[in-house]
Structure 1
Amino acid sequence: MSISFVIADDHVLMRQGLIQLLSADSDLKVIGECGDGIALIELVLKLNPDVVVMDISMPHMSGLVAIDKLLAQRPDSKVLVLSMHDEQEYIEAMREAGAKGYILKESSGDKLISAIKAVANGRTTFPDSVEKNLDMHNTTKYLNPVSVLTRREREVFFLVVAGNTSRKIAELLAMSLKTAENHRSNIYKKLQVSSSAELVRLAGKAGLLE
Structure 2
Amino acid sequence: MSAAPRFAASGLAEPPSRHAARPRDLLIVDDHPIVLHGFRLLAEEAGIARVHEARDIVGAYRAFHRHRPAVVVTDLSFRDDGLSGLSLIRRIRALEPEARILALSMHRDPVIVARVLDCGALGFVVKDAPAASFLDALEAVTNGRSYLPHAIAIEVAMLNAGARDRPLANLSSREMQILVLIGKGKPYDEIAEILTLNYRSVVNATAALRCKLAVGSMAELMQIAAAQAGAVS
TM-score class, shorter: 0.7 to 0.9
* Alignment-derived partner of residue 153 in structure 1: 175
What is the deviation of 1:123? 1.4
Select 2:116's aligned residue among 90, 94, 105.
94
What is the deviation of 1:71? 0.5
* SS at structure 1 position matched to 2:137: helix
* Alignment-derived partner of residue 134 in structure 2: 112
Does the CA-based 8 Å contact 2:188-2:202 persist in structure 1?
yes
* Alignment-derived partner of residue 208 in structure 1: 231
Pair 1:66-2:88 in alignment: no
* SS at structure 1 position matched to 2:224: helix
What is the deviation of 1:97? 4.2
Pair 1:44-2:64 in alignment: yes
What is the deviation of 1:202? 1.7
What is the deviation of 1:126? 0.7
* Alignment-derived partner of residue 176 in structure 1: 198
Pair 1:83-2:105 in alignment: yes
Q: % of aligned pairs identical?
A: 26
Determine the C-alpha separation between the residues in 1 that align with 2:196 and 2:75.
24
Deviation per CA, 1:177-201, whole angstroms, max 9, x where unpaired? 2222222222222222355542332
Determine the C-alpha separation between the residues in 1 that align with 2:65 and 2:81.
16
Does the CA-based 8 Å contact 2:26-2:52 persist in structure 1?
yes
* Alignment-derived partner of residue 45 in structure 2: 24
Over aligned residues, Cα RMSD in angstroms? Answer: 2.9
Select 1:190's aligned residue among 206, 212, 215.
212
Letter in 2 for 1:5: L
Letter in 2 for 1:16: H
Determine the C-alpha separation between the residues in 1 that align with 2:22 and 2:157.
35
Determine the C-alpha separation between the residues in 2 that align with 1:134 and 1:209.
17
Determine the C-alpha separation between the residues in 2 that align with 1:50 and 1:122.
11
Determine the C-alpha separation between the residues in 2 that align with 1:14 and 1:148.
32
Q: What TM-score results when the alignment is normalised by the length of structure 2?
A: 0.72
Does the CA-based 8 Å contact 1:203-1:209 persist in structure 2?
no
Deviation per CA, 1:102-150, whole angstroms, max 9, x where unpaired? 22233333331221121122211111112234553333456352x3223
Matching of residues 161-172 of structure 1 within 5 Å: 161-172=183-194
Select 2:146's aligned residue among 118, 124, 127.
124
Change in CA separation of 1:150 and 1:21 when aligned onto 2, cut-off 3 Å: closer
* SS at structure 2 position matched to 1:61: coil
Unaligned runs of 5+ in 1: none
Number of residue-to-residue matches in the alignment: 207
Determine the C-alpha separation between the residues in 2 that align with 1:9 and 1:41.
13
Change in CA separation of 1:79 and 1:205 when aligned onto 2, cut-off 3 Å: same
Unaligned runs of 5+ in 2: 1-20
Mean CA deviation greater in 95-104 or 84-93: 84-93
* Alignment-derived partner of residue 6 in structure 1: 27
